[in-house]
Amino acid sequence: MTNNIKGKVVIITGASSGIGKATAKLLAAKGAQVVLGARRADKLDQIIAEITASGGKAAAQVMDVTSQADNEAIVKLALDTFGRLDAIFLNAGLMPNSPVSALKTYEWHKMVDVNITGVLNGVAAVLPTFTKQKSGHILATSSVAGLKAYPGGAVYGGTKWFVREFMEVLRMESAAEGTNIRTVTLYPAAINTELLDTITDEDAAEGMQSLYDQYGIAPERVADVVAYALGLPTDTTVSEFTIGPANQPW
């Protein structure tokens, strides 16, 4: 396949660790110009240093995806720094699983804010640019939890079901409106990242840890899929990917 990634400008949210970090490094190695967003400045600085030391091009913006202004600022940074914008990977998220009966309402709302509102803010920030230029790639990380229900994941899964619905309608509407905006929704299974650190319920944390011990795969495997989707020719869209270990029976 020809390298359709070289030269593309790609914003990645949740880029300070896990899937976002692995994707930033892979895309930069393939010649993309990456613009990284997350809250932890020290982590972003370290990743930028690694990418530039290997000859890649990268910029970073400390941002909270729940802020519309922060999303607009990272789009402006991409356009000001690299002169164009080709794609955004809406990947920031958290998964503080717990049974509904535990009533961890602060965490419920936090998941809605980051996993849903964060995606909406990102789309709202890039859409004017993509509509005007009649091209753009919007990728988002849903989850296998957005396809299958499981105890402990009522709110997390709900936020990820939302991402599936929203991205699919966005794809259909963009096609109907002739804006040539392509969407990609990722449904990773168990990926070994910092995500489990967000769980405060002890039983939920223990259950998820043993699942990940058995089935966890590296975030680089998700990055491979992002690179594949981004590298497709502009007349082609592959809109949904599940990504998991070969031994996944669920």
The site for ligand NDP (CB under 6 A) is made up of 13-20, 38-40, 43, 63-66, 91-95, 114, 141, 143, 188, 190-191, 193-195, 219
Specify whether the CB–CB gap between 204 and 97 falls below 8 A. Answer: yes
Task: State the nearest-atom distance from the C-beta of 143 to ligand NDP, in Å.
Answer: 3
Task: State the nearest-atom distance from the C-beta of 169 to ligand NDP, in Å.
Answer: 19
Residue closer to ligand NDP (CB basis): 84 or 166? 166
Q: Tell me how far apart the alpha carbons of residues 5 and 214 are, in angstroms, rounded to a whole number.
A: 34
Q: Tell me how far apart the alpha carbons of residues 53 and 73 are, in angstroms, rounded to a whole number.
A: 26
Task: State the nearest-atom distance from the C-beta of 184 to ligand NDP, in Å.
Answer: 14
Task: State the nearest-atom distance from the C-beta of 102 to ligand NDP, in Å.
Answer: 19
Task: State the nearest-atom distance from the C-beta of 243 to ligand NDP, in Å.
Answer: 8
Task: Tell me, rounded to whole angstroms, the distance of Cα 205 from its chain centroid.
Answer: 22
Q: Tell me how far apart the alpha carbons of residues 69 and 73 are, in angstroms, rounded to a whole number.
A: 6
Which tokens go with 11? 């914003």
Q: Tell me how far apart the alpha carbons of residues 38 and 99 are, in angstroms, rounded to a whole number.
A: 28
Q: Tell me how far apart the alpha carbons of residues 208 and 205 are, in angstroms, rounded to a whole number.
A: 5
User: Which residues are catalytic, by number?
Assistant: 156
Type of residue found at 50: E
Q: How far is CA 138 from CA 5, 10, 76, 85, in A?
A: 14, 10, 17, 11
Residue closer to ligand NDP (CB basis): 114 or 181? 114
Specify whether the CB–CB gap between 224 and 188 falls below 8 A. Answer: no
